[in-house]
């Protein structure tokens, strides 16, 4: 089958070809609970650029070459002997992990922290290909309203935004304020999820006017132009001088972290989703402000079910741009250059 292979790291992202198009053997079922999915769409994610840079080498053990692509949806092609409830042709979205759903951590809903999980596209072959091997416990059947190529990025980008926004929504009362920093692929989903799950006022911050108008379309009540100087004052002016009850930071680098903590009110919560920067706060400040800092890693299976329900009802819409699988390098370069509106999706 055709696949886009990562065969070498490019720490500066300077090369013309990040991945190599190649003909590789089709994946085979390994466990009785395995499933082969014929890929209908594979999302292209900023994490893929970080994988190419080699940033993930310190966190995961993977040997090159392998197939990237961790945001996958398609149709069931073949099921293992122990698989029930799915048959060839069923449209599905894949939770990004292949994990043991009987593990205690999984039963408690902490799917991302189950020992021994495989992460297609990160530590094993992913979906930049015609076929993907995954496990039945990762599969969610798609309703007829949703096609694989239109929802594939929800498997990670949407799920991560949902996971953080749902946590924040659980602690937000009507009329309280929540800030979303960064209205890109994740941020525009986060705003829609907050609109669907709570009645707090949503304030969106971004450097780009185009992103701020997208934020308004998605349900933001206020927008603040990110210029590196006036964001803190602008948010304070909207929050009685005290800052927001919750801040969700989809950027996590540059000045976003310091700004995000500064606009979190005392006893408020700062949810960190984007990465690349460092969080620095003194113990004395943590004690006196009682601010909470909360990490977010993708999301669990049931959260992806909930997100698909919101998508089916038309409450969460993902902007996508489609590329052929053979245009994987073009899609990755466009993402790196900031030229993709919404999310890029590769279609075999």
**Whole-number minimum distance, CB 338 to Zn ion, in Å?**
17
- Cβ closer to Zn ion: 47 or 223? 47
Q: Which residue is nearest to Zn ion (CB)?
A: 45
- Cβ closer to Zn ion: 77 or 156? 156
**Whole-number minimum distance, CB 4 to Zn ion, in Å?**
15
**Whole-number minimum distance, CB 47 to Zn ion, in Å?**
4
**Whole-number minimum distance, CB 121 to Zn ion, in Å?**
8
* 303 forms part of the interface with Zn ion (CB under 5 A): no
CB 250 within 8 A of CB 273: yes
User: How many whole angstroms separate alpha carbon 233 and alpha carbon 313?
Assistant: 37
- Cβ closer to Zn ion: 45 or 307? 45
Which candidate, 234, 228, 227, 202, places its Cα nearest to that of 217? 202
**By rule CB under 5 A, what string of x and - marks binding of each residue 78-117 to Zn ion?**
----------------------------------------
Collapse the DSSP code of 270 into the 3-class scheme (helix H, G, I; strand E, B; otherwise coil) and give the result. Answer: strand
| Tokens coding 197 | 């799950």
- Cβ closer to Zn ion: 161 or 197? 161
User: How many whole angstroms separate alpha carbon 303 and alpha carbon 323?
Assistant: 28
**Whole-number minimum distance, CB 70 to Zn ion, in Å?**
6
Measuring CA to CA, how many Å separate 312 from each of 141, 163, 196, 214, 309?
12, 18, 13, 21, 5
- Cβ closer to Zn ion: 163 or 265? 163
In the region spanning residues 16 to 45, those forming contacts with Zn ion, defined by CB under 5 A, are 45
Task: State the number of binding residues for Zn ion (CB under 5 A).
Answer: 3
Determine the interface stretch with Zn ion among 19-27, 46-54, 179-187, 283-291 (rule: CB under 5 A): 46-54
The angle at the Cα of 160, spanning 80 to 187, to the nearest 5 degrees, equals: 140
Measuring CA to CA, how many Å separate 263 from each of 99, 153, 170, 333, 335?
38, 30, 20, 34, 29
End-to-end Cα distance, the chain: 10
**Whole-number minimum distance, CB 188 to Zn ion, in Å?**
15
* 320 forms part of the interface with Zn ion (CB under 5 A): no
User: How many whole angstroms separate alpha carbon 233 and alpha carbon 248?
Assistant: 18
**Whole-number minimum distance, CB 157 to Zn ion, in Å?**
5
CA 70 to chain centroid: 10
User: How many whole angstroms separate alpha carbon 42 and alpha carbon 125?
Assistant: 13
- Cβ closer to Zn ion: 199 or 297? 297
CA 61 to chain centroid: 21
Residue 22: burial class (beta carbons within 10 Å; 0-12, 13-18, 19+): middle
**Whole-number minimum distance, CB 262 to Zn ion, in Å?**
28
- Cβ closer to Zn ion: 44 or 204? 44
Residue 33: burial class (beta carbons within 10 Å; 0-12, 13-18, 19+): buried
User: How many whole angstroms separate alpha carbon 128 and alpha carbon 144?
Assistant: 24
- Cβ closer to Zn ion: 184 or 243? 184
- Cβ closer to Zn ion: 154 or 223? 154
**By rule CB under 5 A, what string of x and - marks binding of each residue 167-186 to Zn ion?**
--------------------
Q: Out of 33, 47, 99, 320, which residue is the one contacting Zn ion (CB under 5 A)?
A: 47
In the region spanning residues 141 to 160, those forming contacts with Zn ion, defined by CB under 5 A, are 156
Binding site for Zn ion (CB under 5 A): 45, 47, 156
């Amino acid at each position: 089958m055709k696949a886009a292979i990562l065969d070498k790291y490019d720490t500066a992202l300077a090369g013309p070809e990040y991945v190599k198009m190649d003909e590789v053997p089709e994946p085979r079922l390994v466990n009785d609970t395995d499933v082969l999915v014929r890929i209908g769409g594979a999302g292209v994610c900023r994490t893929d650029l970080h994988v190419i840079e080699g940033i993930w080498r310190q966190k995961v053990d993977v040997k090159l070459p392998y197939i990237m692509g961790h945001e996958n949806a398609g149709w069931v092609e073949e099921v293992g002997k122990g698989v029930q409830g799915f048959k060839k042709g069923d449209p599905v979205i894949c939770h990004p992990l292949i994990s043991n759903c009987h593990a205690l951590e999984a039963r408690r809903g902490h799917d991302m922290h189950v020992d021994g999980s495989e992460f297609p596209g990160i530590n094993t072959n992913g979906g930049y290909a015609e076929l993907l091997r995954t496990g039945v416990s990762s599969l969610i059947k798609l309703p007829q309203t949703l096609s694989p190529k239109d929802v594939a990025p929800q498997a990670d980008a949407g799920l991560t935004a949902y996971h953080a926004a749902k946590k924040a929504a659980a602690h937000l009362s009507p009329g309280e304020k929540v800030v979303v920093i960064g209205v890109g692929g994740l941020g525009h989903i986060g705003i829609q999820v907050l609109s669907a799950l709570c009645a707090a006022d949503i304030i969106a911050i971004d450097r780009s006017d185009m992103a701020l108008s997208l934020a308004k379309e998605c349900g933001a009540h206020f927008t603040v132009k990110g210029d590196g100087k006036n964001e803190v004052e602008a948010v304070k002016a909207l929050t009685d001088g005290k800052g927001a009850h919750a801040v969700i930071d989809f950027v996590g680098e540059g000045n976003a972290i310091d700004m995000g903590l500064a606009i979190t009110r005392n006893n408020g919560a700062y949810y960190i989703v984007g990465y690349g920067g460092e969080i620095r706060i003194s113990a004395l400040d943590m004690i006196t402000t009682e601010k909470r800092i909360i990490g977010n890693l993708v999301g669990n299976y049931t959260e992806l079910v909930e997100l698909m329900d919101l998508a089916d009802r038309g409450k969460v819409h993902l902007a996508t741009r489609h590329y052929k699988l053979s245009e994987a390098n073009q899609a990755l370069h466009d993402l790196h250059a900031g030229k993709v509106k919404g999310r890029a999706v590769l279609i075999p």
